[in-house]
Structures are given as C-alpha cells and as structure tokens.
Structure 1
Amino acid sequence: MLHSILSQISHAYQWTGYKHIMITILLTISILGYGLAVLFMGQSFTSSARWGQRRIWATSTAALAAHILVIALILSETGFRQFNMAATLSIISALLVIFNVSRGSSRESQLLRPVIFTFALVSLVIAAITPLQAGQALTTRPGVTIHVGLSLVAFSVLALAALYSLQLYYLNRLLKNKRAHALSERLPPLMTVESYFFRLLTIGTAILTLAIMSGFLFLENMFAPGQLHKTVLSIAAWLTFNCILIVHYWRGVRGKPIIIFTLIASFILILAYYGSRFVRDIILS
C-alpha cells in the first residue's frame, strides 16, 4: 500500500530528480515513523521497559522532523501560496504533534498520542495522493499570511482541546463505573486533564478571536458569496466557545455540558473551514 501511495507522487506533484527523491524519502520516513511509534505505544501499555520508551521517542522524533520538511517542500514549490485541504491537514496535524510532544511524558498527553500520530499519518497519506495545484491559490500579502497562520494555530489548539474533552468524558465514565482503580497507573489525574483542557480552550478561543479580527482587517470581503458560510460558521463557533468559557469561569460549570458544547463548537469550526475546502478542492477539482 505504501509503495502504491508513493508511486503517485511523481504524477501528483510532477517533481523530478532531487526533489522527487527527497519528498519520497521524507514521506516514507514520516509515515513509517508514525506507524511504528503507534505500534510501540500499543506495546508499552503491557510493558514499561525503558527501551520501549526510547523506541517511541526515536521513531516519533524522526517522523515529526520528516513531516515538517515535507510541509516545507510542498509549500516552497508553490511559493507558499497553495493552501489546499491536504496541505492544511498536514500543517494542523504537525502542530498537534508538536503541542502533544511538548507535554513530554505526562500521562494525559501519552493517552492521546496514538490518536494524534495516527491522524498525522493519515494526513500525510492524503497529502501524498493530492495534486499539488488542487484548490485556489492565495495572495501572499502579509495581512493574509497573518490571517491564515492565526487560523491554522487556532484550529489546532481548539482541536487539541476537543480531544482533551473526549479524554475527560472517558475518565468520568471510568470513575462513575468504578473501573478507574484498576487502570490508575496508566490514567492521568482527572483534575490535571480538566485544568489543561480549559487552558487550551481559553488560548484557542483567544487566537480564534485574533484570526477572525485579522480576516475582517486584511481580507477584501468576509461576507462575499464564496466566504459567507465560512464567516458565519466561524463566528458561530467563536460565540459558542466564548459562552463555554463564560459559564465555566463565571458560574463554575464543568463536566458533561461543557464537553458536549465543546464538541458542537469544534464540529461547527470544522464545517466552517473544511466544508468549503472539501467542495472546492475535492468535488470541484
């Protein structure tokens, strides 16, 4: 399967010589690295040997380094103007890996790591089989670049917050069913997860605020026909995230209602960003 995917790179990207060889090698390293890291993490649940942790660290580090280089090569080929769905998925997954790995060996980050690494692997497979010129080119004006950068970071942080909300739900279910004691050595403290979740939600909402403001400042018309639904859905997600934070910090609300509305807001944000890109980059292309 991997050979079949990589064999399409020449046709999809029309790269030859040095660049073709480099992208093929880097994609292979990253995809295999994430896959092996997930496999080793699965084995680590039944063994706490240090050599197993070193294997996870080595494979995931190699995968992330190759992942970043792949993104740089893809974007440099288009002068950093072609942010299609595949490219943005790769960037967001790389940011998620960086955010997760930066937490080190904390139990709450390790619990999510297999999911994030698998998402990164899938995003690279999608990038490998997506034509480079798919989607519409962006202007390279500094203001637009700032807006795109803020949007990608906000999406990544809020996606990570959504994953932590699912982890909170899982831990709450274990505690209610009195099954957490048997897994206590593997599970993170509930309050630690909750505290980090709200921190991510606050930071992500703040960055999303800046992203929306920069859109109104630097884009020509946020309510143009091609941008209208994206703008409306982004604002709806932003309002929902802010309402969650207000009821939490002001009224002390936590638990299941917060988790449900976080997932709803995250789904709206996904529709805002990837709904239009799916139509434009996949269906229309």
Structure 2
Amino acid sequence: MITILLVLSLLGYAAAAAFTGQRFANREPWGQRRIMLSGGFAILAQFAAAILILDSTGYARFNMASTLLIIAVLLAVFNYLRGSRPEAMLLRPVIYTFAMLSSLIALLTPLDAGHPITVNPGVTVHVGLSLLAFSILALAALYSIQLLYVNRLLKQRKAKALSANLPPLMTVENYFFKLLTIGTAVLTLAIASGFLFLENMFASGQLHKTILSIAAWLTFNGILIVHYWRGVRGKPAVIITLIASFILILAYYGSRFVRDVILS
C-alpha cells in the first residue's frame, strides 16, 4: 500500500507541475482547477504514505527518507494553501519537484533504515517542532530566491512580458519576512524543547547538530533584528538567509546522511 501511495503521489505531483507550467504559458482560465485537483490528490497520497511509513516502525525511526517526506508534505501544503497567488504559483513547480524526489527516495529506502529513537511525549514535541521549523524556514529560503529573481527581472526590464505571472515584489518580500519570523520562532521552541526533553544536547552524537542549529538560529535572529531595527532588506537579507538555511541543512541532514546512508 505504501508503494502504491508513493507512486500515486509521484504521478500527482508530476501532473500538477506540468499543469502549472501550461498555465504560465497559456493562461487558460480552467487550468487552475486541474492544478489544484492534481496537487491536492498528490498531497493526500504522500501524507497517507508518510503516516503508514511511520506507523510501520512504531514512530520510532525518523530516517532521512521519512523526514524528507514529512518536510515535502509540509512545504506542499503551505504552498497549496496559497491558492493561485502569483508568488505561490511561481514556486509550485520547484516545491512539487522536491516532493517527487522525496517520494522517490522513500520508495528506494527500506522501512527499517536508520537508528531507532526513544519515543516519549517530550521527544515527539521536539521532533515535531524541528520538522515544522525546518519546513517553514526552507519555504522562506525559496521565497528569498524568488525575491532575488523578481528583483533581477525588474532591474533588467525583462518583467514586462511576464508581468501577468510575476508576483508584486513587495508582496514576496513581506511574505518572506513573515515566514522568516514564524520559522525562527518555531526554531527557538524546537531548540528549547531539545534542551528540555533530550538527555544531553552536547553528547558526542548530538554535539555538531546542536552547535550548527544554534549557529543557524543566531543567524536567523540576526537577520530579523537588523531588518526590524535598521530596515535592512533585499539582497543582503536574502544572502544571509541562504547561508543560515545551509547551516541548518548541515545541522540536520549532514549527520543523518552520514548515519543513515554512509554508515548503514
């Protein structure tokens, strides 16, 4: 059943990404319904597959494949809820392609891959907050890239032909900083819950993850402080956001890649 659901999610995301591309090219008024139906179908199939994968292991194994799947679902849901807004439509093919990749990785990964974790309410809260923070901040990073892209087109005066499809620059920037603020707040809770519920955040197996997570948290907070205090925006904020996002990826997936792929 898990295999069937993952294959269905692959097909649904592929169709939704293709329909989105057609809508950008042809602007059919009926194309949005196809995008929403195929995207919604893919999200439901992938979400069901993720639940079944976690249930099959007693929610005691969060390997790289399962966490990628959960993050992909969250990103797809966040984007889907934005409907037909131009800034959401522009990102949709990218997010759906990532979701397809996560489903493919899940198909190729054994269910029992990865090391077991201790399941208790505190650890569940920490893991849930960490995944949510990662997803929101990953979406903020994607919007920061979109911000650079739209700004570049406007400066090069190439946006006129694409004006019907391009989102307003201020809309993208405001949503980017909103996501950055929410994601940083959730990351704060995730790190705090780790210190509260995990036995030792500075143990040898957790040390680099803890240090990198705190470094990313400090960087994200630094962006927000200079933005709200000094009004810094645009390219400097985008570059620092991408650096902080890369640090966060290293903190989480660097260790999981070594542990779940190389060592196993």
Cα deviation, residue 59, structure 1: 1.1
Name the TM-score, length of structure 2 as normaliser.
Answer: 0.99
Alignment partners' CA distance in 2, 1:213 and 1:267: 21
Aligned residues with identical type, % of pairs: 69
Asked whether 1:27 is paired with 2:6, we answer: yes
Aligned residue-pair number: 264
Alignment correspondent of 1:272: 251
Cα deviation, residue 50, structure 1: 3.0
Alignment correspondent of 2:92: 113
Alignment partners' CA distance in 2, 1:155 and 1:245: 17
- The DSSP-based 3-state class of the residue aligned with 2:161 is helix
Contact 2:36 2:80 in 1 (8 A): no
Which of 191, 203, 209 lines up with 1:212 in the alignment? 191
Map 1:159-170 → 2, pairs under 5 A: 159-170=138-149
Alignment correspondent of 1:126: 105
Per-residue displacement from partner, 1:168-219 (whole Å, max 9, x unpaired)? 0001101111111221111000000000000000000000000000000000
Alignment correspondent of 2:174: 195
Report the residue type matching 2:215 in the other structure: A
Alignment correspondent of 1:54: 33
Moved more, 178-187 or 275-284: 178-187
Contact 2:209 2:251 in 1 (8 A): yes
Name the TM-score, length of structure 1 as normaliser.
Answer: 0.91
Cα deviation, residue 54, structure 1: 1.7
Alignment partners' CA distance in 1, 2:109 and 2:2: 14
Alignment partners' CA distance in 2, 1:61 and 1:196: 23
Which structure 1 residue ranges, 4+ long, deviate > 6 Å from structure 2?
none
Alignment correspondent of 1:16: none
Per-residue displacement from partner, 1:35-82 (whole Å, max 9, x unpaired)? 111111111112122332222122111111100100011000011111
- For the pair shown, which has the larger CA radius of gyration, 1 or 2? 1
Cα deviation, residue 25, structure 1: 2.1
Moved more, 26-35 or 265-274: 26-35
Per-residue displacement from partner, 1:231-272 (whole Å, max 9, x unpaired)? 000000000000000000000001111000000000000000
Report the residue type matching 2:71 in the other structure: I
Cα deviation, residue 135, structure 1: 1.0
Cα deviation, residue 124, structure 1: 0.5
Per-residue displacement from partner, 1:137-185 (whole Å, max 9, x unpaired)? 1111100000000000000000000000000000110111111122111
Asked whether 1:143 is paired with 2:84, we answer: no
Q: What value does the CA root-mean-square deviation take over the aligned residues? A: 0.8
Report the residue type matching 2:164 in the other structure: E
Alignment correspondent of 1:247: 226
Alignment partners' CA distance in 1, 2:157 and 2:69: 39
Alignment partners' CA distance in 1, 2:22 and 2:154: 25
Map 1:230-245 → 2, pairs under 5 A: 230-245=209-224
Q: 5+ unaligned residues in a row in structure 2: which ranges?
A: none
- The DSSP-based 3-state class of the residue aligned with 2:26 is coil
